[in-house]
Every structure is written in C-alpha cells, then in structure tokens.
Amino acid sequence: MLTNVRRATAEFLSTVISSHFSLASLTTEALEAALEVPKKLEHGHLAFPVFPLAKELKKAPPLIAKELAEVVTKAEHPLSKEIASVLPAGGFLNVTFKDAYLQKILIDSVYAEPGKVGYSKKGEGKTVVIDYSSPNVAKPMHIGHLRATVIGQAIRNLAETQGYNVIGLNHLGDWGVQFGKLAWAYMNWGSEYDFKGKPFESLYALYVRFHDEAEKDKDLDAKGSAVFRQLEQGDAQVTKIWKEFVEISMKEYGRMWGLLDVSHDLVRGESFYNNRLKAVEKELEDKKLLVESEGAMVVPLGEDMPPCLIRKTDGASLYATRDLASAEYRHNELKADLNLYVVGVDQTLHFKQVFRVLELMGHVWAKDCHHIAFGMYRFKEGKMSTRRGRTVFLEDVIRQAIEMVDKLIEAKNPNLENRKLVAEQVGIGAILFNDLAVDRVRDVEFDWEKALNFEGDSGPYVQYMHVRCLSLIRKYGKPAPKSIAIELTSPEERELVRTLLNYQDVLAAAFTTFRPNIVAQYMLELCAAFSRFYNKHRILGEAEDVQTSRMALVEATRRVLEAGLRTLNIQAPEAM
C-alpha cells in the first residue's frame, strides 16, 4: 500500500537531494521518516517538510522547496513517470502521484493475499503473549470487563496482522483468600441455594452474602482465611469445592466470550503458579534482592517507588509473587518476545513494580513487558461495586443492544433473513465499537444512550457501509473487476483511493502503540470517504469502463472494511 510508495519516494528524493545539495545527513531512512501524509489531498499524497534543511543550507525554507521541486521534476528516475506533480508550498515539497499508479497499487495490494489485506511481516518469527479478559472466579463479568476483553482481543488481532505468532492467555483469577471465604460460605450456607439449576448465580449470591455478613460478624474473615490455608495445603474436600467454583465460572465466562467471539489459546490461572513461587523467592534471595521489612519480605525499588511485597508476615505469597512467576513462565516456556498485560489503569503501580523487580533480577527482557492500561468506567450514580451487587452487567448491556437492534430491523427491514443473527452482530458491533473508538487510557462515562446509538459514528454505521458495498456487488451480478481500467479523477474517488491506501500504516501504528482506537477512527474516515463517493457518483448503469472501474473501487473498499471490522472483532453482516 502506501508504505511501499513512501519507501520508493524516499529513495528517489534522497538521491536527487544528495546530488544537488551537499548535505551531511539525509539518508533514505531519515527521509522516509520525515515524509508525511498530508491531511488534505490538495497538499499531495506525500509531503516533505524542508524546514530542517534551512540551517545547514542557510536558505529560507520556501526557497529550498522551490529549488527542490524544480530539480526533482527534471530528475530521471523509474518513479518519475508515476508522479503527476512535485510542487513547493511554503516550506513543504508536495508530491502528487498519478491516479492510475495509485489505483493499481491499491487493487494489487487488496488482492495480494486473500484475507490478509494490510498485513505486514514485521513480527515474523516472533511470539507475543497477551493476557486479556482475565476475570475473577465467582464474580460475574460487568461492563468493566468489556474493556479488558475487547481491547485485548483487538490487540491480539492486530498482532496477527503484523505477522506475530500470538498466544492469548487467560490469567484467570482463581486463587487467593477469597476462595477460602467462598468455600466457607458454601459449606455453611450452600444448601440454601440452587447450585444445580443456577450454579453461577448461586456462587455470586454466596459471594455477596459473605461480604455483607462479614461487615457485621468480624470473625468471618478469619474463618475464611483458615479455609484458604486448608486449600493451600491441598485439603481434598476444599480443593474439590474450589475446582467446582472454577468450573462453574469458566462455563459462565465461556458463554460471554462466545457472544463476543473472543478466544484464548491458553488458560493459566493464578493457581497454576503455586508450585513455582518457591523458586521465584529463592531466585530473589540468591540475587540478594530480598529484604526483611516489618516482618514481611520485600524487594526495595528505590526512591521513586514503594517496595514490592513478596511474602507476607504469615509466610503466604502475594499477587506480585505470582506475577513474577508468570512473567518468567511467559518468557522461558512460552518463548514470549513481547509480553502484554491488558489490565486496568488501577494496576499501573503494581506492574511498574513487577517489571522493575524483573530488571533487578537481571532479566533484560523486562523491557519487552508492557502493561496495556485502560481507563475505568464511571457512572453518574457513583462507583460500581461487585461486592455490593451494584453493577452494570456485561450481559445486560449486550442483551439490551441486541433487542434494540432487533426492533430497528423490524421497522426498517422486516423481511430480512437471519434476523436473529444479524441483530446479534449489529448489537454487539455497536457495543464493541463504542468502547474501541475511544483512547484506552481515558476513563469513560457509561452512557446507555450513547452505547446504544446506531447513528453517526458507530459500529452499525461502519457495518452499514459494508452492507451497501455488498448490495452494489450483488446488483452488479458478476464478480467485481480486479482492475481499474480508467483513471478515476473526481475528488471523491481520489480521496477514497488515498484513504484506502493508508490502511496498512494504520494497522502498524495501532499495534506499535497498542491502541485499537486508531483503527476504529480510521474506519469512520473510510466510511465517510466512501459515503461521499457513493452519494455523488452513480456506479451501476454508467458507461462500461466507468462502471467496472468504480465497481473495482467498491470491492476494494468492501475488503478493507471487512478486514478492519475483523481486526476490531466486529462482524460484517451481508445485510441488515
């Protein structure tokens, strides 16, 4: 796509510039990095800001640009024949390519590898381990899990577009004192609940009840802790109960992941690391990092951070201990070149500490560990709490969206086939897009009205454009042409081609910054460009060469839309 064009242009410009001016440092690489995609097409397809050259050449930028434009226009180079104009504009050198050239590049790259539009090979031979959507056993998934799930899955998809080998990891929260508490509750009150008929609801009810009663009865927490110790020592009865909890919960989460079309490759709950904790502690001890402090064992981290707590006064391990073991597991056994944690911003300090400890341990790969933080959901009513049972449940949001879409279909397209399926695809698409379109570090205010809005910048808008493309192709009646016969020169067509060519860069940028919203925002831009084209120009029934050329453009658009939606884990229905 445009990536290749930029490279070629940089080479061209660098040879011309270095033969014309005597400049110390302007490599092809530097030039490639300096080349910009202007915001507006009137500034060309690629622009080179010459300002940095001004000092060395002792000339005003507009003069340099003017001089360069003349030289580049005269220069002979394989690329010359593809360039329509090289014009100076202030301190910028604006390069515009011939429409036929870009059109050909677009079509070639869209058809190059089926299903892999915009892919790159940057990550080839490397493995990325990504930990996402890891819920805590016995707690229902609420709206906050949407982010951990959807952002994680999107980054996972993005990693695949960059050619990485991807391992999606479910770091299930299946260990800790709360399971002692829950087991205690189960043994004492379990019979009051319908565990056969409604296992997960019962489990959650026990959880809420335990915390309610613990506020009144101060001994309850201690009883729970005692049961957890039994669990840690491998008590058969408690272990059996615990396994049951995990199973019930996984079944419930599986249902939710199924709805969202999310999947992991590996489940490695916190309990998985139990038999590795001793080794971590020993390693820390051998490396003289472990220090006793107030009865606990910690790793001091310097002035700017509180110490990392490794072992409690009572000898038990902690969150950080398990994460250290997990990080080593991911590096040593899963062979992670990149280790990503998609976890809320409230864990920022924790991960900073863990990564710092890894550094102190001498693990150079600590730099390849990244906490991909996302902001919290806020509510007008105040903070949400699972313990108090005051929550917006993920499933309710999804169901609500599907129901609203279903009503909309009834009004707009009552004879639609697969209505149920489409309502699901569109409803879920709306929820996912609403979440993915905003920068992940921001807190978001959950707003039912906005999440369930299907007009304007939204998932259904993007899906609708895809449906439109498909509808055109259906009416066209033949497979879409694989080439653009004539030059499409209207502003709308040129803008659409230009936007489509950016797709590959967008994927790369979204992955390197771990920000799926870059893709989502791009999708909106692309849809707007397509819409303007569609509304302005007739496609079917035009003269043969015009019709086929525009149809080829429609199909190219459709493929990029489909690929982009897939990256965001949103379905592209055929009709809606």
Partner RNA sequence: GCACCGGUAGCUCAGCUGGAUAGAGUACGUGACUACGAAUCACGUGGUCGGAGGUUCGACUCCUUCCCGGUGCACCA
Size of the site for RNA (CB under 7 A): 102
In terms of Cβ atoms closer than 10 Å to its own Cβ (0-12, 13-18, 19+), residue 233 is: exposed
Sites for RNA among residues 310-329 (CB under 7 A):
312-314, 316, 318-319, 322
Rounded distance between C-alpha atoms, residue 344 and residue 346, angstroms: 5
Q: What is the residue whose two structure tokens read 């108090």?
A: 388
Does 527 participate in binding RNA (rule CB under 7 A)? yes
Residue whose CB is less far from RNA, 89 or 334: 89
> Least Å distance between CB 289 and RNA?
14
State whether residue 305 is helix, strand or coil: coil
Q: Which of 114, 125, 456, 477 lies at the binding interface for RNA (CB under 7 A)?
A: 456
E strand residue ranges, 2-52: 46-49
Residue whose CB is less far from RNA, 193 or 534: 534
Among the residue ranges 75-83, 192-200, 208-216, 514-522, the one whose residues contact RNA (CB under 7 A): 514-522
Among the residue ranges 20-28, 29-37, 199-207, 208-216, the one whose residues contact RNA (CB under 7 A): 29-37
Site string for RNA, 62-101 (x = CB under 7 A): ---------------------------xxxx-x-------
Does 418 participate in binding RNA (rule CB under 7 A)? no
Q: Which of 36, 201, 212, 395 lies at the binding interface for RNA (CB under 7 A)?
A: 36
From 506, 545, 530, select the one nearest 120 (Cα to Cα).
506
Give me the phi and psi of 128, to 5 degrees please: -115, 130
Q: Which of 383, 388, 390, 420 lies at the binding interface for RNA (CB under 7 A)?
A: 383
In terms of Cβ atoms closer than 10 Å to its own Cβ (0-12, 13-18, 19+), residue 566 is: middle
Helix (H) or strand (E) holding 310: strand 308-311
Give me the phi and psi of 340, to 5 degrees please: -110, 135
Does 29 participate in binding RNA (rule CB under 7 A)? no
Does 57 participate in binding RNA (rule CB under 7 A)? no
Does 535 participate in binding RNA (rule CB under 7 A)? yes
Does 491 participate in binding RNA (rule CB under 7 A)? no
> Least Å distance between CB 40 and RNA?
7
The full length of the chain comes to 576
Does 105 participate in binding RNA (rule CB under 7 A)? no
Does 450 participate in binding RNA (rule CB under 7 A)? yes
Question: Which runs of consecutive H residues, i.e. helices, occur in 175-276?
Answer: 177-189, 199-216, 220-232, 236-260
Which two structure tokens, joined as six digits, stand for 540? Answer: 């079917």
Rounded distance between C-alpha atoms, residue 148 and residue 305, angstroms: 26
Q: Which of 7, 20, 43, 356 lies at the binding interface for RNA (CB under 7 A)?
A: 43
Residue whose CB is less far from RNA, 168 or 516: 516
> Least Å distance between CB 63 and RNA?
13
> Least Å distance between CB 152 and RNA?
16
**Cα torsion angle, 56, 62, 65, 69, sign:** negative
Does 357 participate in binding RNA (rule CB under 7 A)? no
Does 257 participate in binding RNA (rule CB under 7 A)? no
Helices 517-536 and 459-476 cross at an angle (nearest 10°) of 40
Q: Which of 84, 208, 334, 575 lies at the binding interface for RNA (CB under 7 A)?
A: 575
> Least Å distance between CB 406 and RNA?
9
Check if the beta carbon of residue 118 is closer than 8 Å to that of residue 523: no
Residue whose CB is less far from RNA, 219 or 314: 314
Helix (H) or strand (E) holding 280: helix 277-286
